[in-house]
Structure 1
Amino acid sequence: MSTTDRRTLIVDAAIELIARRGIRALTHRALDTALELPPGSSSYYFRTKRALVEAIADRISSRSRGDFTAAGFAAPDAADLPAVAHGIAVWLDRLLLERRDHLIARHALIVDLIGDPELHARLANSLFSIDRARALFRANNFPDPDTTAADFIAVLEGAVFDRFAGNRSNLPAGTPASITQLTTLLSTYLRP
């Protein structure tokens, strides 16, 4: 296995460990155990917990940017707001289904890294593009598109959190009911 592959394997295991057992469970020893590696293996690749957390933040952020780009949302000047709400709901539902551990680990790290402005900002700004949200609200003549975009992202963050840890955590992703719930929420917010 190449060094890059081993590093990716360790980071993915760290994300899963945080999602399943919490941030305090993240240790080099726990990773070695989870991956059935000889003691000291994960610390060979990530000398400090900080280095490991940086790699986790990079992995989550880059995957989020990739997923957002791959979603291919329509240009904002031709926005049909009900279709936009549905498209974002489908995208969020897919994230909840396929990257649930990433979303949970991201939230745990956002809280844990409040005192670290650089890593905190990297994770806090990695769910939905603020620039894309501003463009959407400008194109649709919303008053104060900058504030509205920030509020919309707060709604998305809350919706995601609600689905993995809140009142709707029992609503399974990947179902028509999941997409309908998210579409209804976002459609309410996307009314000019």
Structure 2
Amino acid sequence: MGRREDLADAAVRLVARGGARSLTHRGVDTEAGVPPGSTTYYASTRRALLALVAARITEQLAGDVAGLRLPEDPDDAAVVAVATGFLDALAARGDAQAARLALLVELRDDSELRAPLTGADPVRDELVRAARTLLDGIGVVDPDAAARDLVGVVDALLLYRVGAVGPVDPAAVLTTYVAGLPRR
């Protein structure tokens, strides 16, 4: 891993702990254990620093999506297993997810920086395609719409887990969702 990634990871940790307002060049330098001014070389403005965090979160998501393994002949249980496994993988990056949630609020008026953290991200399109493949494999009537919704359900479950919003059984929620989808 290079200096840029180390700084981005430090910035993610700062935002996860203290929200987007805690993100400063000096704070990232301190968190990363680098000389003062190091972060400014890679991200000269606050906006560039926010972009660095968003890009790092997106890079990690891309790696997680690339690691998805889909069964060739899925059934409902396999769809739920893939979705819960992916949820677990995302939740394992708790700092990245907490930072993502903080930035979604902070950047609500900045569509360019916010886009990689939302459904507008091309990485999310890959995730929706994977969900579509699974749902088509179990005979869902409208796998395109159901795939977008399934990704949304996983995202909501992630919010509940990372934000410690309340007790939810992801497998039960996903099982109920998949079982209720109309089939061909």
Structure 2-normalised TM-score? 0.84
Residue 34 of structure 1 and its aligned partner are, at CA, apart by: 2.1
Residue 145 of structure 1 and its aligned partner are, at CA, apart by: 2.6
CA distance in 2, matches of 1:144, 1:87: 19
Number of the residue aligned with 1:87: 82
Q: 1:130 to 1:91 in 2, by over 3 A?
A: closer
Structure 1-normalised TM-score? 0.81
Residue 124 of structure 1 and its aligned partner are, at CA, apart by: 1.1
Q: What SS does structure 2 have at the residue aligned with 1:129? A: helix
Number of the residue aligned with 1:56: 53
1:1-192 mapped onto 2 (5 Å cutoff): 5-75=2-72, 78-97=73-92, 99-125=93-119, 126=123, 129-165=127-163, 166-168=165-167, 181-191=169-179, 192=181
CA distance in 2, matches of 1:7, 1:133: 32
Checking the alignment, whether the CA contact within 8 Å between 2:75 and 2:138 is kept in structure 1 is no
Q: What SS does structure 2 have at the residue aligned with 1:71? A: coil
Number of the residue aligned with 1:175: none
Could you tell which deviates more after superposition, 136-145 or 79-88?
136-145
Q: Deviations over 1:149-169 (max 9, x none)?
A: 22212211110000111113x
Q: 1:140 to 1:118 in 2, by over 3 A?
A: farther
Q: How many residue pairs were aligned?
A: 175
Q: Report the aligned-residue RMSD.
A: 2.1
